[in-house]
Amino acid sequence: MHKGMLSLVVVLLLINVVLTLTLIATAPENVSDDFKSNLTASSDHYEQETFSFIETEKNINANHRSLNEKINHLSHLVNSLSIKVTSLTKTIENNRTSVAESSLPVSKEPLTDYQQALLEQHNETGYQAVESVLSIGSLDQQGVHRLREKMAKMSPEDHQAALQKLIMAINRGEIEVLPGTVL
């Protein structure tokens, strides 16, 4: 309700009180005391109704302010979430680009048996790290660092396959990326 309406109600209340008091004060002597008390009771009733109306108006305004505060809070949460989603999207895109670049063909010289065995061992270690994260079901920043260490020495093809398996598990909700974790 507008302040003007509230002011009008207060003015009407004051007019009612003044008129009632004037009627009581100027009433002829022959007007019964019952009439005077009924008039006073009526004035009191109007006064109570007006105060009740004013109190209801205050409650409505308080509820309105509370709702506006809650809406502002939710708006800030949505904006914060949007920023986080944008950041995650950029990180994922950067990781995809990094994987794609690391998968580019490189002039390959034949590997010695020792190098081949070492590469296979690194590949196995990387896959075990991914399987470990899958079995745990969550990933924090320390886990990301461990994964990077284990997967860094994998062959580009196996690295890409392991990373793809990890990303797909995250997308399916099999792995929860804990808040504050940067992939």
Residue 11 burial (CB count, 10 A): 10
pLDDT at 43: 67
Q: Name the nearest CA neighbour of 155 among 113, 183, 124, 132.
A: 124
From residue 167, how far is each of 93, 122, 141 by CA, in Å? Answer: 12, 20, 15
What is the SS3 assignment for 110? coil
Residue 121 burial (CB count, 10 A): 11
**Exposure pattern of 31-69 as b/e (b: 16+ CB <10 Å)?**
eeeeeeeebeeebeeeeeebeebeeebeeeeeeeeeeee
- CA dihedral sign, ordered 117, 120, 125, 128: negative
pLDDT at 104: 56
Task: Write out residues in the chain with pLDDT < 50, as ranges.
Answer: none
Rounded to a whole number, what is the distance in angstroms from the first to the last CA of the chain? 53
pLDDT at 116: 87
Phi and psi for 138 in degrees, rounded to 5? -145, 160
